[in-house]
Structure 1
Amino acid sequence: MTINKNVMAFFILVVGLCFAQYVNLYVDKTWLEQSYIYDIYQSDKGKSAYKYKGEEIIITDVVPYDLSPLNQANLNKVDSPALTQQWVEKENGQLQQLKPAFHFGLWSLLPAFLTIVLCLITREPLTALFSGIVSGALMLGEYDITDSVLIPNLAQQGTAALLLLYLWLLGGLLGIWSKTGAAQAFANMMTEKFVRGQRSAKVVSWILGVLLFQGGTMSTVLVGTTVRPLADKAKVSHEEMSYIVDSTASPIAAVMAFNAWPAYVQALIFVPGVSFLATEADRIAFFFSSVPFSFYGIFAVLGTLLLSLNITTFSGRRIKEAHVRANTTGQLDAPGAKPLSAKELQTCDVPKGYHSHYLEFILPLVTLILTAILTFIFMGTPKVNWAFGAALVLSVLMALAKGMSLMNVIDGFGNGLKGVVVASVILMLAVIIGFISKEIGGGLYLVSLLGEQLPYWLLPITLQLITMIIAFSTGTSWGTYAIAFPLAMPLAWAIGESQMLANPELFMMICFATVLNGSIYGDQCSPISDTTILSSMTTGCDLMDHVKSQIVPATFAASLAATLWTACVLIFA
């Protein structure tokens, strides 16, 4: 059977690479106009300007929209535009930035499709991700994979920050906790005072996931590293834990949206002429008004609560089997599983004579949380690197102050790096294939399939399905927002106006919620998503076991959400 799977995977890879080369040589690019709207103001010198990453940018060389080579009418006439961006002025006086983007039609989904299929067949995410990257590079005509694809993407600031955080800071912190026995001491303390078995261990994990509602990678890492030792001690299967950690990260962030999400999303949902989306304050208020329609986020969080209470009715066969396996055999992983966390982080290596204490776990954890919260309050965004760096430094100082030798501390730090290096490489490759998928326009192609003649009651579920596919294919919810919202919101308004809906604002809220929640579902279930990978890594689960076990309850929640969205539109819009 193994040989057959390998042969099948090799055949699919060869065919996929051949198709990629065919696209590069014979498939024309379809260019699309992409417009970006900023909050523009008058600078001290009386010139139009906007803020980007805290810096003031002066707008120059503005041309009328009709004369721009980047408007759709002119893009239809050329094989490749000469400009990469241009500021234009519309007839109503509004300034917009135009950027051209392209897709290869259905072929744009090839790298993501190839990656996911190979992941499912081989259970080897490293080779599957690299194969997807190679196919995307061939489609773009980039044959020097190392210098033209890997290095430029790894050199980007965001990618380097991820590498710093998840390899050095997270790996080092986990290694120090393993060396000092802090995580095990914390697990022992929790078991003695709070955790009495599997159910209480899972409920504690669920509560932490809800309380840390910032969402994304930070919540995943923080909850996963905190609950792993006590869940392992209580013999909770890794499939259950990775699902609880993953499904209380982004879903809860969409429901309890007192985080960075509204500030990011509001910039993407401006629609000219729509009064309730006119200003930044209006758009943030619109976000919060739409929260009751985040049905997927609500059902996902409730589903993990039921699982935490050992109610597995809606959890799917794989999670049920994992629950039974852990109960009857004590095996936390399925037979043949390959957990992402290495052996160095699965056992304690406390030096002889060193006495572990649970405060060595709690104090760095509190420092991490406080640093993230305070930087969010005073700086507008949580400084995750600062938070993990402060926790790591405090852990090292406490170990040295208690008498651990510097050599043992460095040994623990090194073991931590080794323990997460494979997961970090997978994460880097996932980020790169996300960049490639965006560049070749898979998301743009899917959204461009929609039209204004679509019946209004079909639009919410259509947007949900498309954003689910985009996020699943690219492994990012925020990247999907950047693609989908600027296209979906004007489309929803146009359909609402043309079909004369009685309550177009409510219709817009529901469509907004479908894009928001559909992207979360796709990101959460994707094997190339950073949160999926980190949920597996921090809980010690096999990546594909996590993906396959999670997709059933997540799809059940998404199906219920789709039914409610359609019903709300039919009844109230």
Structure 2
Amino acid sequence: MEQQAVEAVSFFHGTFWALVPSIVAIILALITKEAYSSLFVGVLIGGLFISQGSFPGFLEAVFKNGMVKQVSDPWNVGILFFLVMLGAMVALMNKSGAAAAFGNWARLHIKTKVGAQIATIVLGILIFVDDYFNCLTVGSVMRPVTDKFKISHEKLAYLIDATAAPICIIAPVSSWAAAVTGFVEGEDGLGLFVKAIPFNFYALLTIVALFALVLLKVDFGPMRRCESAADMISAKMEELNIDQAKGTVLDLIFPIVVLIILCVTGLVYTGGFFSSGEAHKGFVDAFGASDASVGLVLGSFAAFFVTVIWYMGRRVLKINKCLECLPEGFKAMVPAIIILVLAWSLKGVTDTLGAKDYVAGIVTGSATALMNFMPAIIFLVAIGLAFSTGTSWGTFGILIPIVVAAFSSVDPSLMIISISACMAGAVCGDHISPISDTTIMASAGAECDHVSHVNTQLPYALCVAAISFVCYIVAGLTRSALLSLLVGIVLVVGGLLVLKKQREASRKKRFSPKNMFARKTPAKKKAKN
């Protein structure tokens, strides 16, 4: 049976055709504005390529080795469980009235639309442990506040997404750092990760762009239309469905703090921090060896249990109301779960088709040429791979070992820059991909239509990616992180200032007395005729 499976994919395996299912799914999602059918079509195309006309083989590739296998994968099951528990936590905070109490507090202390966006960014930066945790927690906490100031759900989803993976990839104590260090064999993985942080231009410039966009009050592309439409919608602060209105701001802060502490505890527990004897590891080492899926499940379940005890002890909610939040949390996460399962299934069929082998061959074949431009080239390759497969961690696993093998003995400084380019490109591709689990989580956290989130975020992310590409060219030639980053900051801020100036000039010209008169003149002539 295994021999037949190998022969069935031999024609497409390791070729450009391995990327076609993902490319088709992405294009369909952007055209139809609908994610479910687009992803499913991609899975079907992958099944056709794998089976090469065999109907039983097609069914097996799509369902048995596709969806069923992905849903039953222990890591994926843990992530789905974590999603449900976070949904239940959000339902608890809403039902208790804690979310409404925080909204009332925000009404008094956050005075402006800019302040609400800055608070969202800062909270996203502070929750750097894990991108999944970041997306859902920041969304549930800040959504009532951003609704009050008529900030569109698309803008909230962008703020969440841009402070999820980009922050995790520059935080040494995060599940992402743990993943990256695991892919660097024969080297000090954590040491290389820390050295690569100053060269992670996409992550750093994304944070710069976030603050610049908010402080300069600049929006462009589809996001500008969404923000204009949001200004016409009344705030939703009074529309929360609350069974008990006894909750206070403390009843929101306490569960979130407990959730953070227990999730971190769960992560280091799976990494051996609490083990005895030779199995014991220090905090940083335990984080590096952690199983994020299991650790987040343990932490979220314990946090739910503690929150229920807290609410019951304070007589905020009764036990039956608390337990009602479990099915409510599951219902809230069903759209995200469906998209995640389909995205994982699509990744499964592209892995079977050898998409990773195809990309690895491209990078290996060009590693000896254009040495100083390799960071920029690797950055683009990583974007393409992460975008088409929807996985940044998978991109790390493919490209980082190749980079280490190619540059470790030739040019160690270029190796660090190239590793950072790989991480930055993977985050960028993951950031703009409709089939990325982090993008899906950000949509869920902001209660935003998924395809709308992708469309509005894409121009922002691509602008930062283009500037990051220039920075990697400068870094490859100069080996200077500071100089390259300064170039990037100037381009980001300068570009937004120019855009703002053009918008203001266009607005003044549109509403000038001369143009106002010109617009009225034809109407007068038509009236006379």
Q: Pick the TM interval, shorter chain.
A: 0.7 to 0.9
| 1:367-422 residue CA offsets vs partner (Å, 9 max, x unmatched) | 10111233445453462122222332233334444264444334443333222212
Contact 2:114 2:215 in 1 (8 A): yes
From 534, 542, 561, the counterpart of 2:468: 561
Partner-residue secondary structure (3-state), 1:151: helix
Cα root mean square deviation, aligned: 2.7
Corresponding residue for residue 519 of structure 1: 426
| 1:70-118 residue CA offsets vs partner (Å, 9 max, x unmatched) | xxxxxxxxxxxxxxxxxxxxxxxxxxxxxxxxx3411001110111111
Corresponding residue for residue 363 of structure 1: 254
1:316 CA drift (Å) = 3.2
Counterpart CA distance in 2 for 1:155 and 1:116 is 25
Counterpart CA distance in 1 for 2:15 and 2:238 is 46
From 427, 444, 447, the counterpart of 1:540: 447
| 1:24-47 residue CA offsets vs partner (Å, 9 max, x unmatched) | 9987348xxxxxxxxxxxxxxxxx
The residue type equivalent to 1:393 in the other structure is: F
Corresponding residue for residue 190 of structure 2: 284
1:525 CA drift (Å) = 1.0
Corresponding residue for residue 143 of structure 2: 228
Say whether 1:28 aligns with 2:10: yes
Corresponding residue for residue 325 of structure 1: 229
Partner-residue secondary structure (3-state), 2:58: coil
Counterpart CA distance in 1 for 2:10 and 2:465 is 36
Query: 1:265-414, aligned counterparts within 5 Å?
Result: 265-270=180-185, 278-279=186-187, 282-312=188-218, 315-327=219-231, 329-330=232-233, 348-351=240-243, 354-376=245-267, 378=273, 379-380=286-287, 381=290, 383-401=295-313, 402=315, 404-414=317-327
Counterpart CA distance in 2 for 1:563 and 1:331 is 42
Counterpart CA distance in 2 for 1:349 and 1:322 is 25
Contact 2:67 2:341 in 1 (8 A): no
Counterpart CA distance in 2 for 1:182 and 1:332 is 18
Say whether 1:461 aligns with 2:368: no
Contact 1:209 1:249 in 2 (8 A): yes
Counterpart CA distance in 1 for 2:388 and 2:121 is 28
- Per mean C-alpha deviation after superposition, the further-off stretch among 177-186 and 545-554 is 177-186
Flag the 1:422–1:385 CA change in 2: closer, same or farther, 3 A: same
The residue type equivalent to 1:557 in the other structure is: V
Counterpart CA distance in 2 for 1:418 and 1:358 is 25
Counterpart CA distance in 2 for 1:307 and 1:346 is 29
Corresponding residue for residue 393 of structure 2: 478
Between 1 and 2, higher relative CO (CA 8 Å, sep ≥ 6) is seen in 2
1:289 CA drift (Å) = 1.4
Corresponding residue for residue 103 of structure 2: 187
The residue type equivalent to 2:198 in the other structure is: P
Contact 2:202 2:424 in 1 (8 A): yes
Corresponding residue for residue 126 of structure 1: 36
Which 4+ stretches in 1 moved above 6 angstroms?
23-27
Corresponding residue for residue 38 of structure 1: none
Corresponding residue for residue 169 of structure 1: 85
Contact 1:24 1:140 in 2 (8 A): no
Say whether 1:238 aligns with 2:148: no
Q: What's the TM-score once normalised by structure 2's chain length?
A: 0.78
Say whether 1:549 aligns with 2:456: yes
Counterpart CA distance in 2 for 1:527 and 1:488 is 27
Counterpart CA distance in 2 for 1:148 and 1:508 is 37
Counterpart CA distance in 1 for 2:307 and 2:419 is 43
List alignment gaps of at least 5 residues for structure 2: 52-56, 274-285, 481-529
The residue type equivalent to 2:17 in the other structure is: W
Query: 1:53-132, aligned counterparts within 5 Å?
Result: 103-132=13-42
1:536 CA drift (Å) = 0.7
Partner-residue secondary structure (3-state), 1:424: helix
Flag the 1:236–1:536 CA change in 2: closer, same or farther, 3 A: same
Contact 2:374 2:476 in 1 (8 A): no
Partner-residue secondary structure (3-state), 1:287: helix
Say whether 1:261 aligns with 2:167: no
Corresponding residue for residue 71 of structure 1: none
| 1:435-488 residue CA offsets vs partner (Å, 9 max, x unmatched) | 222222223212312324421133222111111111111111111111111223
Query: 1:489-508, aligned counterparts within 5 Å?
Result: 489-493=404-408, 497=410, 504-508=411-415
Flag the 1:357–1:283 CA change in 2: closer, same or farther, 3 A: closer
The residue type equivalent to 1:137 in the other structure is: G
Counterpart CA distance in 2 for 1:217 and 1:540 is 15
The residue type equivalent to 2:203 in the other structure is: G
The residue type equivalent to 2:473 in the other structure is: T
Say whether 1:436 aligns with 2:349: yes
1:522 CA drift (Å) = 0.5
| 1:337-393 residue CA offsets vs partner (Å, 9 max, x unmatched) | xxxxxxxx9953323x65232222211111101112334454534621222223322
Richer in strand (by share): 1
| 1:253-295 residue CA offsets vs partner (Å, 9 max, x unmatched) | 222323243443233234xxxxxxx44xx33222211211111
The residue type equivalent to 1:388 in the other structure is: S
Counterpart CA distance in 1 for 2:250 and 2:316 is 16
Contact 1:475 1:528 in 2 (8 A): yes
